[in-house]
Structure formats: C-alpha cells, structure tokens
Amino acid sequence: MPSEVRFLQGNEACAEGAIAAGVRFYAGYPITPSSEIAEEMAAKLPKVGGVFIQMEDEIGSIAACIGASLAGVKAMTATSGPGFSLMQENIGYACMAEVPCVVVNVMRGGPSTGLPTLPAQGDVMQARWGTHGDHPAIAVCPWSVEEMFTLTIRAVNLSERYRTPVVLLSDEVVAHMREKVRIPTPEEIEIWERPRPTCPPEQYRPYEPDPVTDVPPMADFGDGYRYNVTGLVHDETGFATISPAKTSALVERLVRKVEKARCDIVQVDTRHMEKARLAVFAYGCAARAALRAVRDARAMGVPVGLFRPITLWPFPEAEVRALASDVDAIIVAEMNLGQMVMEVERVVAGRCAVVSVAECTGELVKPQHILQSILQGTGSRPVTFVRKAS
C-alpha cells in the first residue's frame, strides 16, 4: 500500500494515527472539542476488529481503557479540560500500576466549563501534575494536523515502551483545522510493543523491573500469569506494602524510568535558529503564530528563531539550557497566564532573559503580539519575567 496524501481534520488525523499505531480499544465520553475523535473511532474500530464503547463518563472511560490494556490491547481515550480533570485519579492509577494507555486532551478555555469551542493551553501543568502524588509524566504536543497523526502513534509507542499513561496535549485549533497529511505506508510506521514476560508464570514477578530500563515486563490478563494489580504501593510481587524502603523504591523507579529515557522521549523542533540572538519558545497552536512572527521579524533583520518543544513532559531541560547559552533572551508565548514560562525560568536559571507573552483570550495568540515582544525585547501582559544574564 503506497503512502497517500489526505486532507484531514486534526481530530480525524488523531483517530487515523491511533488505528495505525495498533489501538484496538477506545472508551470515551462526548466533549467538545474532542468529540470527532470518538466519532471516528466509533466508525473505524469495528472495521479493524477493535472495540469502541461510549462510557457513562470520563472516569469510566479511562477505567475501561486501563482494563482493556491489561488484557493486552492498546487503548486510548480522548477528552477536553473538564473530562481531563475527571480522569486524573485513574491517570494516577495507570502511572502506579504501570498500565499503558493514551489520553488525548484537546485543550479548550478553562477553568471549569470555560470556553467549550475555543482554544487555550491552560492544561499543560495539569498534564504534568494533575494527579496526586509523585509520578512520571509524558506529554506530547502537536502543532499541525500531520503531527496529530504522527504524535498519536508516538504517544501509543511511548506508552507501551514505558508502561505509563501518555497525554497527547492538543488544542482546539490543531484539532479542528484541516490540513494536508501524508499518511505513510504501514511499513514506514514504527510500532513499539510493551515488554512482555519471557519467563514461565511460576517465575513471574510482575513488578520486577528490567535492570536497564526500569520497566517491568507486563503479562496480559488471561495468559496464565495470574498476578495482582493495585493502585496501592506495592512491591515486586504486585501486592501492597507499607515498607518505607519498598515505598521509596517503587515511587522513585516510576519517576526514574521516564527520566532515564529522556533521550528517547524528548523531541524538539527548531526553525530559523541560524545566528539567532532571540528565541521564541512556543508549542501547539501558539507555535504556528510564533513561526509567523519569527519569519516577519527575520524579514525585518531581527536574528530570532523558533524553539518548539514537541515533548512537553519530560521538559526538554538540556535543550532549553543549551538554547539559553546561545541567545540573549527567550520569549515564551503561550495561551495561558504563564505556565511553561515557569519551567523555562527554572531551567534557564539566569543564563539569559526570559520574557513571557501570556494570553488567555479564547483566541489563537496573534503573531503581531509575539512580533511586538520580539521587537521590544520585553514582555507583554499580564505576567512578565525579565532576568538578564549577569
């Protein structure tokens, strides 16, 4: 089958990517602006022998995904802010029990019901810290319809390889716009599988990690391994413990398995960084406006480039640190009141100035606002961080 070029909506591309990645179970609940993903999955999954179910709420949706994943089936759900809030407890469960699943959050304006059909980027910290307790987080952030396709596949792959929930953090703009997408051939698509046990059931210790990756092999329910899965702190046998040593061993390993795989997980995209003295840090739909601003500024002779984190979590620390050594200032443009700028600030740690262009209007950030900031070299409302390197 040759690759094909199609004209797709972002949410459609997400569903196409999920099918291509091997997702064969989807449980979801209608919510704008993600509903087209459920509609597409309802149409497509039966045709490939997969299961679609519309659950009674988002809590049940992610619970069903975790149940299906334990049966060995790649599972996904999609939602938006209010539903993402409801899912947080079981996202924590999936972190703790190390059950692969993908949660698509098409961000809309918040808090609460907020702006159902308008874009925002206010959930980036929730994607990191939404569930309680210390836990790993992987979140990827598409800026185009094509990336809705490729990053859905990547989210599924990362989730399987690291046995942890992965959030595809999209937004209303990217999810609802239509663009050209090249759909690769199946041979071109790299598919990762979760590690599975190679030992006989009597030797299986379900939460004994691989010494290199820190990821334990995962048996499918029904394959004779007969093990226990719990959200309680557990030891390598999978049963609950309150041992201080075993508690720290577990929680630290959960975080470490993702931390140590940063090189595999973190992706960034840079544009027009040749001899740049300024960089605009932007992700998702805001990066589209940022790219326009960068091009306009370049046309005016300003040495500015675009730094676009594709992976938001784990945060691309090394890449941002290197960037901070190369430029005089980083302008963080995002559609919230300044969330990722805090992370940039933390990592830059005074190596260069950090300027926040933080907007929460329900509209796509205007390139002119970012351009203005580039030209002024200073921040706009409402939060401004300016720190000059000493």
Partner 1 sequence: MNPDVLEYTELVREERLPHIWCPGCGNGIVLQAVLRAVAKCGLDPNKVAVVSGIGCSSRAALYVDFDTLHTTHGRAIAFATGLKLAKPELTVLVLTGDGDCAAIGGNHLIHAARRNIDLTVVVFNNSVYGMTSGQHSPTTAPGSTATTAPYGSIEPTFDLCRLAEAAGATYVARSTTYHATQMASLIERAIKNKGFSLVDCISACPTYYGRRNREMFGGSGDAVAMMKWQKDHAVSVSAARQMSPEELKDKFVIGELVNRPAPDFSTLYQDMLEAVGSSR
Place of tokens 């995904």: 65
User: Which x/- pattern, by CB under 8 A, does the window 73-102 give for partner 1?
Assistant: x-x-------------xx--x---------
Q: Minimum distance from CB of 256 to partner 1 (Å)?
A: 24
With respect to partner 1, which residue has the nearer C-beta, 66 or 254? 66
Q: Is 222 in the site for partner 1 (CB under 8 A)?
A: yes
Query: Site size for partner 1, by CB under 8 A?
Result: 45
Cα distance between residue 145 and residue 101, in whole Å: 21
Q: Is 230 in the site for partner 1 (CB under 8 A)?
A: yes
Place of tokens 């690291």: 162
Q: b or e along 319-332 (b: 16 or more beta carbons within 10 Å of the residue's beta carbon)?
A: bbeebbebbebbbb
Backbone angles phi, psi at 255, to 5 degrees: -75, -40
Q: Which of 13, 21, 38, 53 touches partner 1 by CB under 8 A?
A: 53
Which span (5-13, 228-236, 278-286, 356-364) binds partner 1, by CB under 8 A?
A: 228-236
Q: Minimum distance from CB of 275 to partner 1 (Å)?
A: 53
Token duo for residue 226: 């007969």
Token duo for residue 188: 């071109």
3-state SS assignment for residue 266 = coil
Q: Is 337 in the site for partner 1 (CB under 8 A)?
A: no
What kind and span of H or E run contains 296? helix 284-299
Q: Is 347 in the site for partner 1 (CB under 8 A)?
A: no
Checking DSSP bridges between strand 25-28 and strand 4-9, what pairing results, if any? unpaired
With respect to partner 1, which residue has the nearer C-beta, 68 or 332? 68
Residue numbers 232-261 binding partner 1 by CB under 8 A: 232, 239-240
Which residues, in sequence order, are bridge partners of residue 7? Answer: 180
Q: Which of 224, 300, 321, 389 touches partner 1 by CB under 8 A?
A: 224
Q: How many CB atoms lie within 10 A of CB 252?
A: 13
Q: Is 133 in the site for partner 1 (CB under 8 A)?
A: no
Q: Minimum distance from CB of 89 to partner 1 (Å)?
A: 6
Token duo for residue 41: 């999955």
DSSP codes joined into one string, 164-194: SEEEEEEEHHHHH-EEEEEE--GGGS-----
Cα dihedral across residues 119, 123, 125, 127: positive or negative: negative
3-state SS assignment for residue 339 = coil
3-state SS assignment for residue 145 = helix
Q: Minimum distance from CB of 46 to partner 1 (Å)?
A: 5
Q: Is 46 in the site for partner 1 (CB under 8 A)?
A: yes
Q: Is 228 in the site for partner 1 (CB under 8 A)?
A: yes
Q: Which of 189, 229, 249, 251 touches partner 1 by CB under 8 A?
A: 229
Token duo for residue 62: 């992610």
Q: Is 19 in the site for partner 1 (CB under 8 A)?
A: no
With respect to partner 1, which residue has the nearer C-beta, 188 or 193? 193
With respect to partner 1, which residue has the nearer C-beta, 51 or 177? 51
Cα distance between residue 31 and residue 37, in whole Å: 10
With respect to partner 1, which residue has the nearer C-beta, 70 or 120? 70
**Which amino acid, residue 262?**
R
- The contact set with partner 1 (CB under 8 A) reads 24-25, 27, 46-49, 51, 53, 55-57, 59-61, 63-73, 75, 89-90, 93, 220-232, 239-240
